[in-house]
Amino acid sequence: MTRLIVVLGDQLSHDGAALRGADKTSDVVMMAEVRAEATYAAHHKQKLALVFAAMRRFGDELTQAGWQLCYTKLTDPENAGSLPGEIARRADEVGADEASVIAPGEWRLREAFDASPIPIQQLPDDRFFCSEGRFSDWAKGRKELRMEWFYREMRRETGLLMEGDKPAGGQWNFDKDNRKPAQPDLFRTPAPTFRKDALVQEVLEMVEAEFPDNFGTLEGFNWPVSRAQALRALDHFITHNLRDFGPYQDAMLSDDPLLYHALLSGALNIGLLSAQEVCAAAEEAWKAGDVPIQSAEGFIRQILGWREYVRGIYFFEGPDYTARNGLDHQRDLPWAYWSGETDMACLKATVTQTRDLAYSHHIQRLMVAGNFALLAGVDPAQVQDWFLAVYIDAFEWVEAPNTAGMSQYSDGGVVASKPYISSGAYIDKMSDYCAGCVYDVRAKSGQGACPFNSLYWHFLDRHRDRFEGNPRMALIYRNWDKQDAQTRQDKLDSAADILAKLDAGERV
């Protein structure tokens, strides 16, 4: 009996569960570039190019390995336009009465596959350290689902950076050592470059022709589209950048958007690399004495801790998670998030970098783009749509908890114990943005004052009933209360002026 083995665009792993359980002599593998998946979000052009190019490369590898492959390109005239439609078409074509696929990383697709007229077996995605069931067992009955406690369990279970039953280096994390601002460095090792062969060029031309109005540019496309390229990117990071990644992982520089970051999340999230091999490589570099424990631990925590944790949260909380709006924020997302037209140097740098590279690092996402949207009271659904659209590594299982939970607090505190907000002082400390900004980061209110400063206090004031009882925020409210009435009013008035400009669609 012929089965249809479906490989999705973010499941490009040769040892994935669907392929492991398949028979080359009787089963047929199906891959399809479909418009429904290309358009359900306004994906960055580079993200579309990465997924399509990596799919085509993976399809070639499957054929070379002896698999029977049915591959549908986006512009093929017989393309059904959706994954369920393509599954039904290909099943009829090859005489298959059932299909098998690794369970998708979005509730949307899982529900669509459940409703398919062709029975589709959805296999557990075992490419992660922690299964959905394992996370659910950990989460049930807990009053707080804090990442730190989950991370420690993962360290114990995997043995990564452990010395017996104790954490290597005597600490579970080294955050206090990893919050340094960076300095410009002409000798910082540049990112590796990847050749744009005929396959990649064909995809780039197709994306530009089919999605001319999507956000982003394709000129700077430089992402690994094969496992061989992804392994080269991993080796480059471990060899050249991991040593300094830890201390400077939160730093931001106007003319150096990459710093020491790994740039591996895109390859990880579409399956070209495994989380296990990436973490093992970092641990081996520490064991060999090539990198300090602070950097190895900081990097491993992002994958073993945070990446696994947010996936667990997404599936544990259920399909309604993305619709939550715990702070009842309703403002429209400012046009500056798409255009980069703003006088705020930090937001302009983040948006233009994202436009050109489909990338910004976690602090630019959290403490610049996310922070401003939260302080301004932007509708979290619109913020989620933006984050899902513009980043090379954005898939809903990882994007939604990062945005709804960590960034916008719209989940009501499931992920974060308090809102991640700051005034301009934090951005000034961790970047060089403020030195060249129209706004004065030292001014707290009035014409020319940094918008982050007054919006910070406006947020706290309007949400006082919710947060003044939070132990982590009590000191902040005491500081607010110590300010004289006129000072407080000046800050609130300045914030109101900024919000009025946003509502009028004016440049801020």
What does the DSSP assignment read for 87-120? Answer: HHHHHHHHT-S-EEEEPPSSHHHHHHHHT-SS-E
pTM exceeding 0.85: yes
- Do 377 and 459 fall within a single domain? yes
Whether 412 is covered by a domain: the verdict is yes
Range of the domain at 144: 132-194+222-317
Q: What is the mean pLDDT of residues 451-463?
A: 98
Whether 89 is covered by a domain: the verdict is yes
pLDDT at residue 1 greater than cutoff 80: no
Where a domain ends, among 97, 123, 149? Answer: 123
Whether 210 is covered by a domain: the verdict is no
- Do 242 and 165 fall within a single domain? yes
- Do 140 and 106 fall within a single domain? no
Tens-place pLDDT, residues 229-252: 999 999 999 999 999 999 999 999
Question: What is the per-residue pLDDT for 412?
Answer: 95
Whether 508 is covered by a domain: the verdict is no
Q: Cβ distance 286 to 296 under 8 Å?
A: yes
Whether 84 is covered by a domain: the verdict is yes
Tens-place pLDDT, residues 14-64: 999 999 989 999 999 999 999 999 999 999 999 999 999 999 999 999 999
Question: What is the per-residue pLDDT for 214?
Answer: 98
Q: Which residues of 289-304 are buried (b: 16+ CB within 10 A; e: fewer)?
A: eebbbbbbbbbbbbbb
Q: What percent of the chain has pLDDT over 90?
A: 96
Question: What is the per-residue pLDDT for 165?
Answer: 93
Tens-place pLDDT, residues 60-82: 999 999 999 999 999 999 999 99
Cα separation, 305 vs 303, in Å, equals 5
- Do 346 and 364 fall within a single domain? yes
Where a domain ends, among 69, 98, 123? Answer: 123
What phi and psi values does residue 4 have, to the nearest 5 degrees?
Answer: -100, 120
- Do 51 and 85 fall within a single domain? yes
- Do 118 and 165 fall within a single domain? no
Cα separation, 130 vs 470, in Å, equals 31
DSSP conformation class of 305: I
CATH of the domain at 102: 3.40.50.620
Tens-place pLDDT, residues 440-450: 999 999 999 99
Q: What is the average pLDDT score of the chain?
A: 96
- Do 119 and 143 fall within a single domain? no
- Do 117 and 152 fall within a single domain? no
CATH of the domain at 150: 1.25.40.80
Whether 30 is covered by a domain: the verdict is yes
Whether 324 is covered by a domain: the verdict is no
- Do 168 and 309 fall within a single domain? yes
- Do 168 and 299 fall within a single domain? yes
Whether 255 is covered by a domain: the verdict is yes
- Do 152 and 111 fall within a single domain? no
DSSP conformation class of 367: I
